[in-house]
Amino acid sequence: MGALQLMPLLLALLAAAARAVTAAGAGPRPSEVAVGALFTYDSVIGRAARLAIELAVDDVNADRTVLAGTRLSLIAQDTNCSGFVGTIEALELMEKNVVAVIGPQSSGIGHVISHVVNELHVPLLSFAATDPTLSASEYPYFIRTTINDLFQMNAVASIVDYYQWKEVTAIFVDDDYGRGGVSALGDALAAKRAKISHKAAIPPNSNTEVINDVLFRANMMESRVMVVHANPDTGMRIFSVANKLQMMANGYVWIVTDWLAAVLDSSASGDLKDMSHIQGLIVLRQHTPESDAKDKFITKWNNAARSRGITSGLNSYGFYAYDSVWAVARGIDKFLDNGQQVNFSTDPKLHSSNDSTLQLSTLKVFDGGEQMLQQLLLTNFTGLTGPVRFNSDRNLVRPAYDILNVGGSGSRLIGYWSNYSDLSVAAPETLYQKPPNASSVAQRLYNVVWPGDSTTTPKGWVFPNNGQPLRVGVPIKASFKELVAGDRGSDHVTGYCVDIFNAAIKLLPYPVPCQFITIGDGRKNPNYDDIISMVADNSLDAAVGDFAIVRNRTKMAEFTQPYIESGLVIVAPVQRAASSAWAFLKPFTLEMWCVTGALFIFVGIVVWILEHRTNEEFRGSPRRQIITIIWFSFSTMFFSHRQNTGSALGRFVLIIWLFVVLIINSSYTASLTSILTVQQLSTGITGIDNLISSGLPIGYQAGKFTKNYLVEELSIPESRLVALNTIKEYADALTRGSEDGGVAAIVDEMPYVEIFLSYHCDFRIVGREFTKEGWGFAFQRDSPLAADLSTAILQLSESGQLQRIHDEWFTRPSCSSDDSEVAATSLGLRSFWGLFLVCALICLLALVVFFIRVCWQYSHYSSSEAAAEPSAADVAATTDAVERQRRPSRLGSFRELIEFVDKKEAEVRRTMKRRPSEKDKQPAESSDAQPVA
């Protein structure tokens, strides 16, 4: 047991010895390693980061577990918030042989100096450059030690989606930082089925007048959800100008990225001059979990700030700057532990030309830069900001944000966002041990106080405040004035569709001034697809009228909820059937009458055959039996036959036949009733399939989608189609018919057909609707008005106002359009052949069974006759035997068989019973007559 206990100690000693040997072989560790820092000293982020970096260097040098025997030396340079100055300062910093650079805080400067560190192989760790376009593939030596704006924009998109807004206005500074963030925002919103409707780009270092112009144009747009992605200096001026433009009032939404949280955290309570301008804002801030180490650092930072006379406060970027120093220190420690040396060499590509004052030759390449970079990417420790570890995309793991609501003299926490659990009211670190989106079933954000001190969630959209009314296109048609009507060049329009639109507009919670623009000359119908194209091309804002919602139109415009159902139907002329003395024969075709009569006779004969031997009612003279067959056959038609069936086969056949007669009687009665009462189609068209195959001309309403549907979907040749415009043209074309230059039928939508039939009752709807669609109002793609009008239409429907508007315009009584009253035809054999076949087969089966039984009886009857005949010829015993044999058998002829069949059943049975008894008596009498010997 003692040896086992010593084993771990021996292994530890061996590992320490091996490490010492490696270090000894590689040479002594340097006494000091220089690390650079680039940021703007006099800035909201720079003031917090500068002190945090200095405190971190002090803590590293005081910790003997990191860089033991090596001192970390910090060389800081002020970029002065300038790309040019930052580049010069970065070059000067590289001359001092630093092994890593912490910073910069500006994404724009980060883009520039990343090219420098790439060339010199010096890792660059930025605690504040959040631009997503600082990708690892373009800048391999750039490491982001803060949260990528890619995640911040996902957080913004989640908030937008949570409140069900669909459009936002992006207000940003037009530099690398602003453009990169807004590009990421657009992608994040697209994933949530939302979009940026307007980009308000503010040039860098703009004055108040320029900002005013940008915000004024943004305020003219529909969206009231403003996402501000700027820097502290420009950002605070944005809110000051927005307040003057009354954009901080009720109905507006402002979502601000983490720069404002840094300003709020860095400002003492009540010291911020513009606090009244930012009431009701939603602000994001990098989330840093609570810990003892964080509390101790805050205390240390505040004490150091007071001792140095720093008036600004600590913000989240200070935590990331502190952790960045520790990441560099741990990376250098691993670098040195692996036996690497801090060496620099001259790059032959960097040389000073004779006529240049730039001393490029003073820039050295860090020989161990690649190894240092790999060690930094393997960083894994828990810092003030949580776990400091990089994923495969070189982003910090577990990105998270606090969501704040500004109010009063400060802000309050209303929730969190993390890449793991999305929005939640629980801290992200408490959700990492639970399944993702565990908070989706609970409350995701606390209540917000919006601008204007409102607690009601804003709609996020209003009608654009640009003084321009909504341009509404209205088709002016040659007919069907009940639907939409107006004068050319006038904005006064009326009709069923217009009344519904006006009623829906009144239900919107905001005013929408409209200008109706009539389209068409009133003599011919305009092309409806062209009107929808005008909406898609921004020539119109909306289209109101009888617009069917069909596939090709939904690709061009956004439609509201249908306000009336519609569908294509066929209208054809009808005529009253002429009265005739022989109308009673029309229910059945001639073929049907002949087969039915033949079957009556056939069944009568079958029943007579089956009943003739047993039933006295089916016997008698030949004349009487023929009359009986005919009477019985046709009396079954009225179930008035007097003859009763006695045999089992006869009753079976009669039952089946009476069922057939019942079906025939019912069909005859129904068909005759229909023929005497309904109207008949003069064209013979009964439905869409029949119409397609007929080859006859077809009418349609000009300008509507019907033509495209008939040609493209039903493959009807365009030469068969006739365009019609008015109700009068409809009636005239149908009346003249296909033989006189008209049409055989018209295909149109149901509302038009109802109006047409209310004027002309000589036509009928044939078949059923063969398409299903509805009418709606068209708007430009992704227009919020479409959704709001859809809600208003549903309100009209639920309140009954939609039906009342319909009744006001459609007051004329419509002709009956029940297609069951159309095209009654004679019934043919095709409808009954199965029933007749079954009946005939049953009759034949009964006959077969009957004749088998008759043949069996005849066989027994013949044998009994043959056995009894010799014993009965006592007086003729001397007759010549040869002559008797030459005489043909009396019962063997066909005539005898017919006579046997004609015999009564009872008589045959008595004969068959008597003959065996007589045969038994004859042997007894013969034995008694013999003389006694």
pTM over 0.85: no
Q: How far is CA 664 from CA 503, 513, 607, 763, 823, in A?
A: 58, 69, 19, 32, 21
Q: Tell me the C-alpha distance between 136 and 144, whole Å.
A: 9
CA distances from 880 to 760, 807, 876, 885, 886 (A): 102, 112, 9, 9, 10
pLDDT over 70 (residue 440): no
pLDDT (mean) for 875-883:
41
Highest-pLDDT range among 324-328, 355-359, 685-689, 767-771 = 324-328
Is residue 13 over pLDDT 50? no
Please, what's the largest Cα pairwise distance for the chain? 180
Contacts of 555 (CB under 8 A, 6+ apart): none
At 892-902, the pLDDT tens digits run 455 665 666 66
Can you tell me the mean pLDDT for 485-495?
Answer: 83
Confirm if 753 and 699 have CB atoms less than 8 A apart: no
Res. 353 pLDDT band, cuts 50 70 90: low
Q: How far does Cα 363 stand from its chain's mean position? A: 60
> Which residue type sits at 884?
R
Res 738: pLDDT: 83
**Nearest-angstrom CA–CA distance, 632 and 427:** 97
Highest mean pLDDT among 101-110, 141-150, 454-463, 683-692: 141-150
Q: Which residue has the higher pLDDT, 124 or 205?
A: 124
Burial-class residue 796 by CB neighbours within 10 Å (0-12, 13-18, 19+). buried
Task: Average the pLDDT over 262-281 and give the result.
Answer: 79
Give the three-state DSSP class for 312.
coil
> Which pLDDT score, from 0 to 100, does residue 164 have?
87
pLDDT at 682: 55
Report how far apart, in Å, the C-alpha atoms of 309 and of each of 47, 305, 306, 393 are.
Answer: 12, 6, 5, 40
Looking up tokens 């949280």 gives 261
SS3 state at 153: helix
Q: Tell me the mean pLDDT in the region 456-462.
A: 87
Give the span between the Cα atoms of 360 and 344, in whole angstroms: 14
pLDDT of residue 272: 63
> Helix, strand or coil for residue 39?
strand
Helix (H/G/I), strand (E/B), else coil: 315: coil
Lowest mean pLDDT among 28-32, 463-467, 603-607: 463-467
AA letter at 98: V
What's the confidence (pLDDT) of residue 891?
A: 41
Residue 862 has pLDDT above 70, yes or no: no
The pLDDT value recorded for residue 880 is: 43
Confidence of residue 437 (pLDDT cuts 50, 70, 90): low
3-state secondary structure (DSSP) of residue 245: coil
- Summarised one tens digit per residue, pLDDT across range 784-819 is 888 889 999 999 999 999 999 998 888 766 555 444
Contact 474, 519 (CB under 8 A): yes
pLDDT digits (tens, 9 = 90+) for 384-401: 999 999 999 999 999 999
The rounded distance, in Å, linking the Cα atoms of 285 and 152 is 9
Average pLDDT of the residues of the chain: 82
What is the distance, to the nearest Å, from the Cα of residue 40 to the centroid of all Cα atoms in its chain?
51
CA 475 to each of CA 479, 525, 725: distance values in angstroms, whole numbers, following the listed order: 11, 8, 13
Name which of 519, 493, 44 is nearest 267 in CA terms.
44
Rounded CA separation 42/38 (Å) = 12
What is the rounded CA–CA span in Å between residue 822 and residue 157?
A: 60
Report pLDDT digits (tens) over 706-734. 999 999 889 999 999 999 999 999 999 99
Amino acid at 853: R
Nearest Cα neighbor of 416 from 395, 393, 386 is 386
CB atoms within 10 A of CB 876: 8
DSSP strand pairing (493-494 vs 410-418): unpaired
Residue 747's φ and ψ, nearest 5 degrees, are -105, 120
Nearest of 486, 473, 487 to residue 543 by alpha carbon: 473
Bridge partners, residue 471, by sequence:
515
The answer to whether residues 582 and 870 touch, using CB atoms and an 8 Å cutoff, is no
SS3 content of the chain, % helix, strand, coil (to 5): 45, 15, 35
Q: Where is average pLDDT lowest: 280-284, 708-712, 762-766?
A: 762-766
pLDDT given at position 875: 38
Closest C-alpha to 544, from 449, 471, 436: 471
Q: Each residue of 561-616: pLDDT tens digit?
A: 999 998 899 998 876 555 566 766 777 788 888 887 888 788 777 777 777 666 55
pLDDT for residue 491 is more than 90:
no
Question: pLDDT value at position 163?
Answer: 92
In tens, the pLDDT along 235-253 reads 889 999 999 999 999 989 9
pLDDT score of 155: 96
Q: How far is CA 763 from CA 311, 495, 680, 726, 733, in A?
A: 91, 25, 10, 16, 12
Give the pLDDT score at 878: 37
